[in-house]
Amino acid sequence: MNDAPTTTAAPAKLAVALAFTPELQRQIQEGAESVELVTEAFTISSQPEANAAAERLTLCNKGVDALKLLKAGFVAPAKQIIANAEALFDPGIRGYEQSGTVLRQRLLGWKQQEDRRIAAENAAREAEARRARQEAEAKAARERAAAAELARQREREAAELEAQRRAAEEAGRTREAKALAGKAAEKTAQADAALENGERAAQNAHIEAQASTGAAPAVAAPIKGFTAAQNWVAERNEGVADDAAALELIVRAICGFPDEQRLARPDLLALFKLDTSALNRLAKAQKKLMNVPGYTAVDKPIARGSRGG
């Protein structure tokens, strides 16, 4: 952090006096009237007139130089007092700017810390949700398997009763056959009910799992008056010494040359220059998907603070 700015006591009043002397006024007036004099006096139709006009032109040029020099000296004190007056505000402006830099850096650090915390919480929540879903799938499978086994058992019992009914019917035991038919139907209904109950239990397992992990993902609380905008840029990878090394990697990728294949004229790489602006535009557009040999897209957020309404 920079040292706190120091200030000196400002004068209560700033003033300057510009001496617009009669001689200075005379020189200015003379120059202002020269155009009318030249227009009327110099009509060139002979060599002597041309020579006189050239001499007058030299005097005009000298007059321009002289008045410009006088002008610079005349307004210099006024410009200096304006510069001094502007400088009186600089310590306050500089102090606010430095304070803003410190606060933006710290706010950005806090936001990045919160973003990491939120990401970790959401990752843990998703992991818990996956575990709950897996447990629900396993429980649902067990419920369906148990229901299917119970249904098969009731169907076997129903089949046995049906066989007994047919035997009783063939033997003429009508009353017994009718009773056995009712029992067989009851077993068949129990088998159907077992399958329905198993499916209901499996669905309940899924609903319970969803209810236990159905909370919305965590989001970071906004900071009033502060935002951090994404700023994706292309950064040279570690191990890539300089732009020339990166350029060789890019040329190899364009030509499809493997690393072990030597370039026929590596000296010609010096004729090319990397367009870092284009690299950064590509990083901004493609973000983590950017695929340029020797470079990686990195987000370096830009902190912004409000100036109020």
pLDDT higher at 276 or 206: 276
Asked whether the predicted pLDDT for residue 303 surpasses 70, the reply is yes
Mean pLDDT, the chain, rounded, equals 87
Q: What does the pLDDT look like over 74-88, one tens digit per residue?
A: 899 889 999 988 999
* pTM for the predicted model, two decimal places: 0.55
Q: What does the pLDDT look like over 175-198, one tens digit per residue?
A: 988 998 899 899 899 989 988 998
Asked whether the predicted pLDDT for residue 1 surpasses 60, the reply is no
State the DSSP code for 238. Answer: T
Tell me what pLDDT residue 262 has. 84
| Confidence category of residue 42, pLDDT binned at 50, 70, 90 | confident
Q: Nearest to residue 297, comparing CAs of 243, 239, 230? A: 230
Tell me what pLDDT residue 309 has. 52
